[in-house]
Structure 1
Amino acid sequence: MALIEEGFVSANTYNSLPTIQEAANVPREYAADLGYLQRLLARHNIPESISIRLIHRHYDIDDGEAMVFRDIALPAHGTVEVMRATSISSAQLHGKNFLVGSAARLQAYEYTTETTIDISKYETFIAEFVETVVQRKLQHRFGLKINHRSEMEVQADQKEFEFPEEQCTITIPTNLPLPEATHEIDVDTDWGALDNKHKRKKGNGKPKPRSTRTRCSHGGTVEMENCREECKKEDGIMFDGRIVQLGTPFHGLLNNLMEVW
């Protein structure tokens, strides 16, 4: 039986995934399951470009759309990654984030315009991963993520921020300017392998998930109309319900992004 489902995930399936707010406590509440999946990566010697992914969504999609990540090079800063709903016919898309579907097979639910590595060659690992997720009922909690480009280790930690004013998210390497740390939600969403030496010892409580590469930050619910009125009074860009002040490093990055995308 095929281990990977072909075709795009339906809008109905995607929109039924937990929001980042609903998934925020999953890493803590299911730490033992997460640790087991991380050790599974290590046991099969899976390259560091493949990691465990917290299943969540930020926005809904319509029929004929997919949520797509795209790299954008900023001349004055470097490369950031933008995710937004995109027509599935607009570009050649490759699976990036995968869930275990109802047919007990991996299926991409978020995509990228970049070429990704071929995960089908890790058949033994995929079979055990899918079996574990189904047995432990983790289908809406943990999946897999492919960091595109190559099988090399991802060198820089990243943070993903919601940009509801543009209905997208922006993933930024942490060595670039970031918005102020005033977010209500700040949760790990991406974990690499966990060596067996970190396995929980009897009586020591839950294992601490390690090898985090991506965190997701969100400012919570804010009245957009109030923000627009405030933004008119000041020179700045509204970002996740907050005004990014002119002259700050993150304003420069955000302004650069909006000029080139």
Structure 2
Amino acid sequence: MALIQEDFVSANTYNSLPTIQEAVNVPREHAADLGHLQQLLAGHNVPESISIRLIHRHYDIADGEAMVFRDIELPAHGTVEVMRATPIASAQLHGMNFLVSSTGRLQAYEYTNDTTIDLSEYETFITEFVKIVVERKLQHKFGLKINHHRQIEIKADRKEFEFPEEQCTVTIPTNLPLPEATHEIDVDTDWGALDSKHTRNPGKSRPKPKPKPKPRPSSTRTTCSHGYPAGPEDCRGECTKEDGIMFDGRIVQLGTPFYGLLNNLMEVW
């Protein structure tokens, strides 16, 4: 049986995945399972582009759509990543985030328009990963993430924010302007290898025999940070559109550094 299920995930399956609010405690409650999967990454010496992913969703999709990540270059700031529902027929898509499906195979549930590595080249690792996930009933808790080439080169932690006003998420390197840290949810969503006896392999090259000890590269992480939409009583009549840009239920005020980034994004996307 093929290790990778190639068909697109159905809207019904995607919309049944836990929301980020429902998944927020999974890393803490299943810390032992997560650690075991991280050790599995190191034990098979898979490339740094493969990491453990917290299974979650932000918005529903309709039939014929998929959630797609896309890099957007901001002239005044750098590169941010936007995820939003996209018609499947509108672009050539590649799997980015994978779950273990009901058939016991890896299946992409979120995608990118950038080329990614071929997971089928890591058959032994995938076979063991799927076996552990099924045995421990982690299908809706942990999966795999593949970073495309440009993301591997970026050595900076990132934060993902919901932008419900535009039905998308925006993932921003932490060295760029960020919104105020007033979020009720703040949880890591991907993890690299965890084993001091192994180093992460940046590519597919075979390890040299008896390599000299060397420090592991510093890993990067993506954190989801979300608030809950502010109700009318929180605005006190002052939260008008003219005050700035609505973002994650809050007003991003004119003149702030993050307003400049967000305004730049809305101009170019």
TM-score (norm 1): 0.91
* Contact preservation (8 Å) 2:227, 2:248: yes
1:94 aligns with 2:94: yes
CA RMSD of aligned residues (A): 2.1
Match of residue 181 from structure 1: 181
Residues 126-170 of structure 1: per-residue CA shift (max 9 Å, x gap): 000000000000000000000011695651110000000000000
Structure 2 matches for 1:143-182, cutoff 5 A? 143-149=143-149, 152=152, 154-182=154-182
| Native 8 Å contact 1:49 1:153 kept in 2 | no
One-letter code of the match for 1:73? E
- Matches for 1:104-253 after TM superposition, within 5 Å: 104-149=104-149, 152=152, 154-196=154-196, 211=219, 213-223=221-231, 230-232=238-240, 234-253=242-261
Partners of 1:47 and 1:3 lie apart in 2 by: 18
Where do 5+ consecutive residues of structure 2 fail to align?
Answer: 199-217
% identity of equivalent residues:
82
Contact 2:156 2:220 (C-alpha < 8 Å) held by counterparts: no
Letter in 2 for 1:46: V
SS in 1 for 2:240: helix
1:260 aligns with 2:248: no
Distance 1:153 1:234, change over 3 A: closer
Question: Residue type of the partner of 1:20?
Answer: I
Where does residue 11 of structure 1 map in the other structure? 11
Number of the residue aligned with 1:64: 64
User: 1 CA distance for matches of 2:151 and 2:256?
Assistant: 36
Q: How far, CA to CA, are the matches of 1:256 and 1:150 in structure 2?
A: 21
Which residue of structure 2 aligns with residue 207 of structure 1? none
Partners of 1:150 and 1:105 lie apart in 2 by 27
1:188–1:212 CA contact under 8 A, matched in 2 = no
Provide TM-score, normalisation by structure 2. Answer: 0.88
Provide the C-alpha distance between the structure 1 equivalents of 2:92 and 2:233, rounded to a whole number of angstroms: 37
Give the corresponding residue for 2:47: 47
Cα distance change, pair 230–197 in 1 and its aligned pair in 2 (3 A):
farther
5+ residue gaps, structure 1: 199-209
Would the aligned equivalents of 1:5 and 1:105 in 2 still touch at CA under 8 Å? yes
Deviations 1:197-247 (A, max 9, x none): 69xxxxxxxxxxx95510001102433797696432752111001110111
SS at match of 1:131: helix
The alignment of Structure 1 onto Structure 2 pairs a total of residues equal to 250
Letter paired with 2:143: G
Other-structure match for 2:75 = 75
